[in-house]
């Protein structure tokens, strides 16, 4: 649904954010005690220097995308309209992932009338923001340059507008604002804070065993080639069969179970991992991620 066809009213927001629970108050969520956005300096397609620090005081929508990505193309008209509507208070920055032909990207931006700066994302920049395994991926930054939310996939532009208005101190109708602790949803380095992981069942463990399991998930590396810990890989790619098998072995060992003919703590063998929708290949230059906090 386009902003052009959807005025900012609480009734519409209710349908977008609350889904089927129409009686529920619509809610947006921001990170509690957010981290500063990783700094970077790149050149735009026009050759001008670009960094998040250039727009201090504005809300920033950092949008990772590619010309071949259908959902990315679909949201561009709405991003253009958002930039027009909040031009003095909002700055959208487009960072192109997995597109090698800069001239082709420039023609694409001209064709779609993109009115915000666009630059080619380096592999190092991409890794600073968690690898960007799916497109589009957008990070929402407050006026102090801190990352308060992350969205993967195509989202209704009304959601972005509500978040932007909230961060700008503008009216947002009957929308509730909540905060949450980043346990790896925004930055994988915070996976050590998580008490639950995607696809990992800890329900049969005692509280003490659960603590030991989570420690092992954050201490042991995944062998799928991602260079992340098991916990980080489960958050980064919930379809990864390698981290799934390894975490299951750890849980079974703690619960007194063993896998027939196998050491429960032996490293898992790499297996084929289905890629998520709108997935992009891993960067060729992959510096090791930050180690989880002790």
The pLDDT value recorded for residue 282 is 55
- Give residue limits of the domains in the chain: 3-180, 185-294
The one-digit pLDDT tens for each residue of the chain (294 residues) are 344 444 434 444 444 444 444 457 899 999 999 999 999 999 999 999 999 999 989 999 999 999 999 999 999 999 999 999 999 999 999 999 977 789 999 999 999 999 999 999 998 999 899 888 889 999 999 999 999 999 998 888 899 999 999 999 999 999 999 999 999 999 999 999 999 999 999 999 999 999 999 999 999 999 999 889 999 999 988 899 999 999 999 999 998 864 443 343 334 434 333 334 455 655 543 444 444 444
Can you name the residues that pair with 177 across neighbouring β-strands? Answer: 28
The pLDDT value recorded for residue 290 is 47
Residues with Cβ within 8 Å of 133's Cβ and at least 6 positions away in sequence, in order, are 236, 237, 276, 279, 280, 282
The pLDDT value recorded for residue 281 is 56
The pLDDT value recorded for residue 176 is 95
The pLDDT value recorded for residue 221 is 95
> CB 87: neighbour CB atoms within 10 A?
13
Pairwise CA distance, residues 52 & 119, whole Å: 12
Helix (H, G, I), strand (E, B) or coil at 77: helix
The pLDDT value recorded for residue 278 is 56
Q: Which long-range contacts (CB under 8 A, 24 or more apart) does 166-169 make?
A: 166/28, 166/30, 167/30, 167/59, 167/140, 167/142, 167/143, 168/59, 168/86, 168/89, 168/90
| 200 preceded by a cis bond (ω within 30 of 0) | no
Q: What is the CATH number of domain 3-180?
A: 3.40.30.10
């Amino acid at each position: 649904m386009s902003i052009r066809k959807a005025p900012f009213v609480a009734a519409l927001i209710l349908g977008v954010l609350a889904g089927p629970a129409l009686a529920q108050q619509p809610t947006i969520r921001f990170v509690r005690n957010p981290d500063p956005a990783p700094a970077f300096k790149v050149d735009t397609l026009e050759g001008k220097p670009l960094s998040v620090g250039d727009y201090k005081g504005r809300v920033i929508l950092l949008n990772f995308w590619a010309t071949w990505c259908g959902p990315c193309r679909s949201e561009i008209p709405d991003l253009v309209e958002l930039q027009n509507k909040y031009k003095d208070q909002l700055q959208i920055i487009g960072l192109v992932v997995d597109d090698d032909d800069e001239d082709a990207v420039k023609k694409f931006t001209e064709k779609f009338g993109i009115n915000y700066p666009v630059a080619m994302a380096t592999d190092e920049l991409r890794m600073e923001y968690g690898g960007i395994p799916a497109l589009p991926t957008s990070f929402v930054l407050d006026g102090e340059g801190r990352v308060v939310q992350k969205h993967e996939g195509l989202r209704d532009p009304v959601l972005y507008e509500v978040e932007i208005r909230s961060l700008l101190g503008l009216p947002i109708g009957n929308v509730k604002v909540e905060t949450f602790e980043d346990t790896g949803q925004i930055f994988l380095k915070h996976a050590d804070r998580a008490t639950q992981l995607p696809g990992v069942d800890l329900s049969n463990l005692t509280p003490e065993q659960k603590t030991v399991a989570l420690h092992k998930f954050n201490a042991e590396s995944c062998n799928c080639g991602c260079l992340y810990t098991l916990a980080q890989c489960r958050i980064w790619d919930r379809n990864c069969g390698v981290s799934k098998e390894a975490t299951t072995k750890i849980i079974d060992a703690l619960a007194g179970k063993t896998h027939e003919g196998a050491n429960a703590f032996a490293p898992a063998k790499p297996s084929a991992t289905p890629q998520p929708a709108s997935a992009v290949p891993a960067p060729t230059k992959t510096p090791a991620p930050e180690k989880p906090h002790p």
